[in-house]
């Protein structure tokens, strides 16, 4: 056995043993009588705690013509309840030494507070009241609507890379709601009204459609008592069935080219439809994660070594894949080109590397090293308070289980080189890819 293969084997065994000890996150789950799922992650290294409430509703659940309403409601959740005046929620958290925020994706919306452990009961009371007690009128909705429009301008419209990413998603997804941006299309955002927000709130914000995650210096018994006290009295109610739209087969490649005087370098992306944990050929989800690591997961990856180190035609080069969406995911490559490198020359070089991987397959050594790196990263992900809460909350809100999260290192470790090579050949087909190129446009 070569020394590199021996080292990879040793690292794999070491990391698998370490992951087996760290894997459980010291986490437990239970469900209240009203359907609220609760996950508790004990971490006694510091007297702090994080509360996260995840609603299983996001941009994927918006009515047609109302893009952005899920994100808009996220904003409005801070604008007042029966007990908390408009705008006071975050001020109260800050006055108690904590911080809070929220975020919306296509698949879920999450709200969180980071506080001292002895303030956990206080923020649980506040968040539980917000689950059913939202009070909004045109007086607060209309000014907040202008806030989200300005947010779109700053985050998307004034950011060439973000604007092209939005166009790329619209080209990649023909039917699934990932076609539409989470923040919304501005023409539809301008028509969002108080009634739209209240309807989305009434449809989806219910305990039986939510996950509560508590992470920090707590015990399961303590959290269960508090959850029963503050969330338990909230009644369950009917929730609409979530749409599960199929993505039709792609039959053509699409190329997007955009020029901007706000960028100095050429940015290049290519994406392919790919299975996720829950859609498509789901058995390849773990193998695709390993594939992304081998091809573009850092300085030792094939793309970085070939394009950045050996040929010097790119500043950066990598691969991306996230298996978490409820629908189909995307797998792909991205790069920033060196100045004066023709795009065609770069694409020819990248395609040569990728085609060699498809034709010859990856090696046992590459796959073993990639799996070791990924398992090591999983151990570090368990540090802190917010990280584990987000990992577990996102999985549970997307319909997966605590066991899925805990067993992730083992499932990555079980991926074979044959599975990785099969996954690559399943997904990587340039004749149905979406390629997006962002070019500098010098001002005259």
pLDDT in tens, 257-285: 999 999 999 999 999 999 999 999 999 99
Q: Looking at the structure, tell me whether residues 209 and 335 fall in a common domain.
A: no
Which candidate, 20, 39, 34, places its Cα nearest to that of 400? Answer: 39
* Number of Cβ within a 10 Å radius of residue 286: 22
**Residue at 301 is within a domain:** yes
**Residue at 346 is within a domain:** yes
| Assigned token pair, 365 | 């050594």
Domain count, the chain: 2
Specify the DSSP element, H or E, that contains 344.
Answer: helix 343-360
**Residue at 73 is within a domain:** yes
Q: Is 74 a catalytic residue?
A: yes
Q: Looking at the structure, tell me whether residues 120 and 180 fall in a common domain.
A: yes
The pLDDT value given to residue 25: 67
Return the CATH number at 178.
Answer: 3.30.830.10
Mean pLDDT of the chain: 93
d(CA 177, CA 181): 8
**Residue at 4 is within a domain:** no
Contact between 405 and 395 (Cβ < 8 Å): yes
pTM score, whole prediction:
0.92
**Residue at 319 is within a domain:** yes
Q: Judging by DSSP bridges, how do beta strands 434-440 and 254-260 pair with one another? A: parallel
The answer to whether the Cα torsion of 205, 211, 216, 219 is positive or negative is positive
Which candidate, 22, 44, 42, places its Cα nearest to that of 221? Answer: 42
Q: Which domain, by its residues, includes 366?
A: 246-440
Q: Which of 206, 230, 254 is the last residue of a domain?
A: 230
**Residue at 240 is within a domain:** no
pLDDT in tens, 117-170: 999 999 999 999 999 999 999 999 999 999 999 999 999 999 999 999 999 999
Q: Looking at the structure, tell me whether residues 224 and 257 fall in a common domain.
A: no
**Residue at 390 is within a domain:** yes
Among residues 62, 74, 127, 366, the one annotated as catalytic is 74
| Assigned token pair, 442 | 């010098």
Rounded-to-5 percentages of helix, strand, coil across the chain: 50, 20, 35
For 137-226, list the strands marked E by DSSP.
210-216
């Amino acid at each position: 056995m070569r020394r590199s293969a021996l080292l990879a084997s040793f690292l794999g065994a070491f990391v698998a043993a370490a992951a087996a000890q760290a894997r459980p996150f010291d986490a437990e789950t239970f469900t209240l009588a009203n359907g609220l799922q609760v996950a508790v992650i004990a971490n006694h290294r510091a007297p702090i705690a994080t509360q996260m409430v995840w609603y299983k509703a996001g941009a994927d659940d918006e009515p047609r013509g109302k893009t952005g309403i899920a994100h808009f409601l996220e904003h409005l959740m801070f604008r007042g309840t029966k007990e908390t005046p408009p705008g006071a929620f975050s001020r109260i958290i800050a006055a108690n030494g904590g911080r809070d925020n929220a975020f919306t994706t296509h698949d879920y919306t999450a709200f969180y507070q980071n506080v001292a452990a002895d303030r956990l009961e206080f923020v649980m009371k506040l968040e539980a009241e917000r689950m059913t007690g939202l009070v909004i009128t045109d007086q607060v909705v209309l000014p907040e609507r202008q806030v989200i429009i300005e947010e779109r301008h700053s985050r998307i419209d004034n950011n060439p890379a973000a604007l092209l990413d939005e166009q790329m998603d619209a080209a990649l997804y023909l039917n699934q709601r990932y076609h539409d941006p989470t923040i919304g299309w501005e023409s539809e955002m301008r028509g969002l009204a108080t009634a739209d927000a209240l309807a989305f709130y009434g449809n989806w914000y219910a305990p039986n459609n939510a996950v509560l995650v508590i992470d920090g210096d707590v015990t399961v018994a303590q959290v269960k008592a508090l959850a029963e006290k503050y969330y338990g009295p909230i009644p369950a109610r009917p929730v609409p069935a979530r749409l599960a739209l199929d993505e039709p087969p792609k039959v053509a490649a699409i190329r997007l080219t955009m020029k901007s005087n706000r960028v100095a370098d050429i940015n290049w992306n290519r994406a392919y439809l790919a299975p996720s944990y829950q859609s498509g050929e789901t058995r390849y989800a773990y193998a695709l994660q390993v594939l992304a690591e081998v091809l573009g997961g850092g300085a030792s990856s094939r793309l970085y070594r070939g394009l950045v180190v050996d040929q010097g035609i790119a500043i950066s080069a990598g691969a991306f894949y996230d298996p978490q969406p409820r629908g189909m995911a995307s797998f792909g490559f991205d790069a920033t080109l060196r100045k004066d490198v023709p795009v065609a020359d770069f694409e020819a070089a990248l395609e040569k590397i990728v085609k060699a991987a498809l034709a010859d397959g990856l090696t046992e050594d590459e796959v073993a090293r990639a799996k070791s790196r990924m398992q090591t990263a999983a151990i570090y992900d368990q540090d802190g308070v917010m990280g584990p809460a987000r990992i577990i909350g996102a999985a549970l809100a997307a319909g997966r289980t605590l066991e899925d999260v805990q067993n992730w290192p083992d499932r990555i470790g079980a991926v074979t080189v044959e599975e990785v090579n099969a996954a690559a050949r399943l997904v990587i087909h340039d004749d149905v890819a979406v390629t997006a190129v962002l070019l500098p446009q010098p001002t005259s």
